[in-house]
A and B are shown apart, each in its own frame.
Chain A
Amino acid sequence: MRFRSTRTAKFSLGALAVVGALVLAGCTDSSAPDPETDPTEESSGMPEVPYADGTTMADLAAAGTIRIGVKTDQPLFGLTNAATGDPEGFDVEMGKIIADQLGIDEANIEWVNTVSSNREPFLQTDQVDIVIATYTINDARKLLVGFAGPYYIAGQDILVAAGNPEGITGPEWFSENPDKTICTQTGSTSITNIGEYTSNILASGSYADCLEPIRNGQAVAVTTDNVILSGLAYANEGEFELLNAPFTEEPYGIGVPLEDTELRSWINDVLDAAFTSGEWARAWEDTVGVVIDLPDSTPTVDRY
């Protein structure tokens, strides 16, 4: 929602708070909040983050639509809901927060299916406006695209069968047991990281493909960022568990075109506002929070 001045903003928010309270008082049944249909934007209390004319933000707001690159196959972060055809997850929620700040309605967001190797090319060739797709910030990528955030600090962790029958303790366990196989996605930062501990790696087409090898005994564990692993655990009803011993730090950022420093800075402002206003926490609870507890502290954006 765009407001003409802070005073109007405060008035409108106050009015909405009253209306919201009345509505909630009238509600007797409270089912799990559905990010799609609940009008949480109105009652979020997130302040408007301003932007100047002539910037990408103004263009997007004027166009009334934004193209956001997300994953569509990562449970809890970006996964297509077969019934609605739209992606859902923490990354998706962050995208909605940004679009909301531009006055773009949820229905007008164009979600573009993005896989890991497309993230830089899509930004470089203007296929998407921003990328929120479990995108780890690193120096090599900073040469090609810009990063706002991080909006979450993930860490590479290990997923094992429920009950941890092999007694895996961490990545060093694989150095000590070279005959045990660990599975991860080919061409990812995860495979590079685990490659420092062992060479007995099964390289799959995607992380989710790694679950079958564990089920049929070809591998004993999967490794990648802990949030992706929790999504996998969540989607498979107690068959797997997380070691909860992250051994790297993977800051997730929002990818923007390299030269667009204004967009990057503005998104950082939006993130700061989301951290302090509780919107970020709300997005977490609605999605990943089902499996992982809310982190103790919000991340600090890196303005470089």
Chain B
Amino acid sequence: MSTVLYDTPGPKARRRARVITAIVLLALAGFVAFLVVAFVSPRTSVSGAELRPLSDPSLWVILNDRAIWRFLLGGALATLRMAALAAVLAIVIGVLFSFLRTARSRWIRLPSTIVLEFFRGMPVLLMMLFVLLVFSTGAYWAGVTALALYNGAIIGEILRSGVAALPRGQREAGLTIGLTPLRTRFLIEFPQAVRNMLPIIIAQLVVLLKDTALAYVISYDDLLFRIDTMRKGDGNLIFTLFLVALVMYLAINLTLSTVARLVARRVRPGGPAPRIPKRGVFGRPTPTVSDPMATSQGTSAP
């Protein structure tokens, strides 16, 4: 692997790299061995009682129960249901917000900016609690509303900066051929902005999916809540259940992230990215689309 930061490694550097690699691999192996040993050794509780080791089959036997899996999958479906509806609403709200924020009239622009900053600055959990208690809607709608408003505000910002990043000529051309400013925005600027910003928007939707787990705190009957209900049924299963939850959430999220990435790649303006990407300092390709929100929004997602 060569970058411009350092010379192509010569024999001595290569040898050193091999030695360090060997040491690291050894350390990793030791760590894994430690985990395995900790897993099978018996534990003692605080009061001195002998507890079963983590590898004890009685702690894992529930995984064989199909009814339990059906129960958990029901929870996963609840998660996805909330995410799907919230995502659709978030896009609608985002479009609305981006229009409001770029309105020519100050009386529309300023209040909507304040409202938008308010939604962005509040924790999603707080919004969920607010909707739940003030409008007494039940956990599902509280979660959907809060997620839609919060992510809608962020998507609105993404779209707005997407429109702002377009060459001015686009807007001017639209006005020249007689379109009203509104129709210019709708017919010319918006479609381009959406295409440019699609990867970031989809990334935000994946964040939305992760945030549905927050509804657990307001007792929405999703996957995490069901895992927790089972934990309350038998506290010793916590480790088993935690691993199950981890695997299930990783599966769902990684699948969606990968799908999102594939879709983003195919929908890019100008077709899929060229095969020879520009190389940055570390030898990795730099993003070729100028997306001002790429570093700020894509990484700040909670």
Stretch from B9-17, B131-139, B188-196, B276-284 at the A interface: B131-139
A122-B133 Cα distance, complex, nearest whole Å: 9
Contacts known (A82-B71, A121-B136); A215 close to B233, Cβ less than 8 A? no
User: Which of B46, B74, B226 is A217 in contact with, Cβ under 8 Å?
Assistant: B46
Interface size on A, residues (CB 8 A): 34
Contact with A along B206-231 (1 / 0, CB 8 A): 00000000000111010000101111
Q: Is the interface of B mostly helix, strand, loop or mixed?
A: helix
| B121-139 CB contacts (< 8 Å) to partner A | 132-133, 135-139
Q: Is A208 engaged at the interface, CB distance under 8 Å to the other chain? A: yes
Which residues of the partner chain B approach A73 to less than 8 Å between Cβ atoms?
A: 228-229, 232
Q: Which residue of the partner chain A has the closest CB to B62?
A: A82
Decide: A83 and B71 in contact? CB cutoff 8 A: yes
Q: Is B68 engaged at the interface, CB distance under 8 Å to the other chain? A: yes
Q: Is B67 engaged at the interface, CB distance under 8 Å to the other chain? A: yes
Decide: A124 and B221 in contact? CB cutoff 8 A: no
Q: Is A300 engaged at the interface, CB distance under 8 Å to the other chain? A: no
Q: Which residue of the partner chain A has the closest CB to B71?
A: A82
Which residues of the partner chain A approach B65 to less than 8 Å between Cβ atoms?
A: 83
Decide: B47 and A165 in contact? CB cutoff 8 A: yes
Contacts known (A113-B221, A205-B217); A82 close to B132, Cβ less than 8 A? no
Q: Chain B nearest CB: distance from A254 CB in Å?
A: 19
Q: Is A216 engaged at the interface, CB distance under 8 Å to the other chain? A: yes
Q: Is A212 engaged at the interface, CB distance under 8 Å to the other chain? A: yes
Which residues of the partner chain B approach A72 to less than 8 Å between Cβ atoms?
A: 221, 229
Contacts known (A113-B221, A115-B219, A118-B132); A79 close to B74, Cβ less than 8 A? no
Identify the B interface with A (CB < 8 A). Answer: 45-47, 49, 65, 67-68, 71, 74, 132-133, 135-139, 217-219, 221, 226, 228-236, 238
Identify the A interface with B (CB < 8 A). Answer: 72-73, 75, 79-80, 82-83, 85, 112-113, 115, 117-118, 121-122, 124-125, 127, 161-163, 165, 205-206, 208, 211-212, 214-217, 235-236, 239
Q: List 27 A-B contacts (CB under 8 A).
A: A72-B221, A72-B229, A73-B228, A75-B232, A79-B229, A79-B232, A82-B67, A82-B71, A83-B65, A83-B71, A118-B219, A121-B132, A121-B136, A122-B136, A122-B138, A124-B136, A127-B136, A127-B138, A206-B232, A212-B238, A215-B46, A217-B46, A235-B234, A235-B235, A236-B235, A236-B236, A239-B49
